[in-house]
Amino acid sequence: MTESIVDTDILSFYFKGDVHVAAKFADYLKEFDQINIPIITYYEIIAGLKFKKAVKQLNDFQDFVLNNNIINISEESAKISGDIYAQLRQKGITIGTSDLLIAGIAVENGLTLITNNEKHYDSISGLQVENWKK
C-alpha cells in the first residue's frame, strides 16, 4: 500500500458506511498513522453538510478530521494544477477546478489519489490513482 490522499467521493462512501471502503481505510491505517485529506475535499464535504444542515454528520466529520491530516494547497501545487489544466485543454479534455487542484496536491506530495472517479483522473500524467470502492 502506498501513502495516499482521499477524494471527496471516497470520504462520502466511508461516512455512509460502505463496508468495502471502511475495510480499505482500516488496512491503510495499519500502515500509516493518518488519512490524508486535501483541503479541497475538506471544503467540499463541509459545504455539502452545511447546505444539508446535517449537524450530526458535520460534527462526525470534524471529529474525524482532528485525527487525520489536511493537506493545504501550496504555490507549487497550484502551479502543477495549472500545468495539468493546460495539458488537458490542449487535448480537448476539461475537468473541474476542484479536481484539478486535488490532482495538483496529490502530484506535488507524491501521493496516490484514492477515488471512485478513475476515468476523470486517468488522463493526468504523473498522477497515481486507486479505487477503494472496488
Q: What is the C-alpha to C-alpha distance for residues 100 and 124, in angstroms, rounded to an integer? A: 9
Terminal alpha carbon distance of the chain: 15
Which pLDDT score is estimated for 79? 98
Q: What is the pLDDT of residues 28-70, one digit of tens each?
A: 999 999 999 999 999 999 999 999 999 999 999 999 999 999 9
- Per residue in 90-128, pLDDT tens? 999 999 999 999 999 999 999 999 999 998 898 899 999
pLDDT at site 54: 95
Domains of the chain and CATH, by start? 4-130 (3.40.50.1010)
Amino acid at 43: Y
User: Nearest-5° angle of CA 43, CA 46, CA 52?
Assistant: 135
pLDDT of residue 119: 86
Global pTM reads 0.94
Q: Which residue has the cell 482521499?
A: 6
Residue entry with cell 444542515: 53
